[in-house]
Amino acid sequence: MLAAWLEVDGVADLLGRASEVSGTDLVAHGTTSDAETIRDTAVAQPLLVATALASLRAVLEAPPGADLAQAVPGRVDAAAGHSVGELAAAAVAGVLRDEEALALVAVRGAAMARAAAATPTGMSAVLGGDPDEVLARLETLGLVPANVNGGGQVVAAGTLEALAALTAEPPTRARVLPLQVAGAFHTSHMAPAVDELAAAAAGVAPRDPAVTLLGNADGAVVSTGADALDRLVAQVARPVRWDLCQATLADLGVTGLLEVAPGGVLTGLARRTLPGVETVALKSPADLDAARDLVRRHAGGAQPSPSTTTQESTS
């Protein structure tokens, strides 16, 4: 995941500092750790946020040590993050400094890992099917639509027994794919983690967004730093409405969408739900030239410049 990025100027130093702030050896986890290790959400979450921020810094060629938000205005007009990606999006929008986002995600990941260990739970993607029938089936089984992603994709979360029943008897014309995650994120099973994250967030002084920032809960534009921070805490136990975030991006008139590393999933959804919006996914440093070209061509014109999206591994 990170081996190629470490060859990009400045990235190794950035990830080294991110490791210190988060208390996690992100370089080792991004290069040599096995899948079982990275599946631990206490590892995965800091790794995802650090990679997102480092890759965007590489695109914008932000000076080392400088606040990322200083490189964003005029080049990125809107930021949105899927689940844990919302912390990275808050840093892109200037609500949080990089170090604050990394410190909070370390608390978030560890707290959610503890909450997940309390009860065997998980998540499964439901692809296709009639939307109303899918939601009705989840309700019958006591499952939560934890991620409503648009493009015919809903992620169900709950007990392993209920997820097994969903797999055994899926909704008509739908496929169910179990996800390799630690627990039922964005459900009431994560309530204990909300309290832990709230205590950590109480020590942060958020700034108001410098660019348009969208909230996971409803796709709304978040106007104040205080509201953004409150939403970051609450969303740990609330569903992600990525479908509504994409609808807002369409309403804003966004013409280009850059998905920061590890990219791929959200641009795939955007191709189905945001026709006509040009997308670039940062899957490796080989995509940096295309990303910079996207920013250059879409920024500063009559239409808004590109939006930046960040994701979590559950999307």
Catalytic residues: 83, 186
Helix (H) or strand (E) holding 225: helix 225-234
Residue at 145: amino acid letter? P
The overall longest dimension of the chain from CA atoms, in Å, is 53
Rounded to the nearest angstrom, the gap between the alpha carbon of residue 92 and the centroid of all alpha carbons in its chain is: 12
Could you give the strand order of the β-sheet that contains 78-81, starting from the edge strand earlier in sequence? 212-213, 78-81, 307-310, 256-259, 278-281
Distances (CA, A) of 132 to 35, 129, 271, 280, 310: 35, 9, 23, 32, 28
C-alpha gyration radius of the chain: 18
Q: Is 84 helix (H, G, I), strand (E, B) or coil?
A: coil
Contact 158, 184 (CB under 8 A): yes
Distance CA 292, CA 294 (A): 5
